Amino acid sequence: MAGSTGEIPRAALDDRGQGHPLLLLHGWGVSSELFAPILDALESGRRLIVPDLPGFGATPEPDAPWSVHDYAAWCVALLDRLGIETCDLIGHSNGGRIGIVMAAAHPRRVRRMVLAGSAGIRPKRTLRSAARVRSYKALRTLERSGVMPGFVRRAARRRADQRGSADYRAVTGVMRGTLVRIVNEDLRALLPTLHLPVLLIWGDRDTETPIDDGRLMERLIPDAGLVVFEGAGHYAYLEQPGRFCRIVEVFLSDQQSGSTA
């Protein structure tokens, strides 16, 4: 858990409003600033808790590579520090991945959850992708070799960096190790254990977390409903903010657990 990886980073935090707490968790490679366009619409009657997750925005990196379980534990520690026992949760992309683990490991802490273009389903590996992984690992082995000439190791590093994802190439050190740990975790086994109402919101043109991931989550989560935003991509909540906020408002205000707007 997070406590085993060193001191827990303090949060850069937007804490506003009064009422039932709503925790908003942003995706990988961005910060809480991307929630700014929807905060005013969601604030009425709620206390909004909008942190920069460790390693993003103004919150320091962890001391060692974290897993998604470490991030979930950090969020629970943040709630404890703020005196919040139970909250609702909106998670986008990697923030949704963290929300899934929070709700599974700490079911009493999350009342209702909105997953927007959520990560958490590990893609099936094709023959082509498997070959790319083998090639990538071979290049990294060459890069670390103590017997190869320096120019060979440097060339191997350049080729390996080119083969990594854009997210992987954008980070180094602890956060690169964190990314590797996170993307290799498949959370589908946790989905049937989520016993809370879950609203799934997906853009039908999402290429980062495809709509099929949303459909799979809808099938595996016992109390889930999927709303598809036609013409929207991975940031559907920013592309159609008015519709997003109206649907979320109904969902979070509805006391009947079987309804997902």
pLDDT at 140 exceeding the cut of 70: no
> What is the predicted pLDDT for the residue at 150?
75
**Phi and psi torsions of 229, nearest 5°:** -95, 105
Check if the beta carbon of residue 206 is closer than 8 Å to that of residue 226: no
The per-residue pLDDT for range 50-80, each reduced to its tens digit, is 999 999 999 999 999 999 999 999 999 999 9
> What is the predicted pLDDT for the residue at 129?
47
Check if the beta carbon of residue 88 is closer than 8 Å to that of residue 21: yes
The structure's pTM equals 0.81
Place of tokens 């897993």: 67
Give residue 241's Cα distance to chain centre: 19
Beta-carbon contacts of 97 under 8 Å, excluding residues fewer than 6 positions away, are 68, 91, 118, 119, 120, 182, 185, 187
> What is the predicted pLDDT for the residue at 257?
41
> What is the predicted pLDDT for the residue at 149?
72
pLDDT at 108 exceeding the cut of 60: yes
Check if the beta carbon of residue 252 is closer than 8 Å to that of residue 260: no
pLDDT at 41 exceeding the cut of 50: yes
> What is the predicted pLDDT for the residue at 10?
80
Q: Which domains does the chain have, with CATH numbers?
A: 2-122+185-253 (3.40.50.1820), 127-171 (no CATH)
The per-residue pLDDT for range 180-214, each reduced to its tens digit, is 899 889 999 999 999 999 999 999 999 999 999 99
pLDDT at 131 exceeding the cut of 80: no
